[in-house]
Structure 1
Amino acid sequence: MDFEQLESVVPEVFLFVDRRCFPDWEIIRQEIDFYDLTFIIEGRANYYVNGEKITVEAGDMLFIPAGSVREAHTFKEAPMHSYAFNFTLMQPASAGEIRFPFDIVTKHQMTSEILNYILEFNRIWSGMQPGYRMFARGIFHLILHRLLAVSFHHSPITHSDSRVEKVKEFVVDHYSEELDLATVAKVVNLHPVYLGKLFKTSTGFSVKHFINLVRINNAEMMLSGGGFSVSDAAERCGFKDISYFSNVFSAIKGYPPSKASMQKRVSPRP
Structure 2
Amino acid sequence: MRKKIEHMSLHHAAYAGFPVRIVDSVLRQRSQIWNEHDYFEIAFCADGAGFHKTMKEKRRYRTGTLVVMNVHEPHCWYADDTSHVAFLQFTRGFLNGLEPFLLDNAHESFMLKTFISGVTGGCRVFILPAMYAAQIKRIYDGIRGELKTKLRGYETIVRAQFLELIVRMSRALEREHSQAVRKSIAGADAAVEKVTAYVTEHYGDDLTLALLASLTPFSPGYFSKLFKKHTCYFIYEYVNEVRVREACRMLKESGASVSDIAFKTGFRNIPYFNRVFKDIIGRTPTSYQKSANTPD
What is the TM-score with the length of structure 2 in the denominator?
Answer: 0.36
What is the TM-score with the length of structure 1 in the denominator?
Answer: 0.39
Higher RCO, Cα 8 Å, sep 6+: 1
Q: Decide which structure has greater helix share.
A: 2
Bigger-Rg structure (1/2): 2
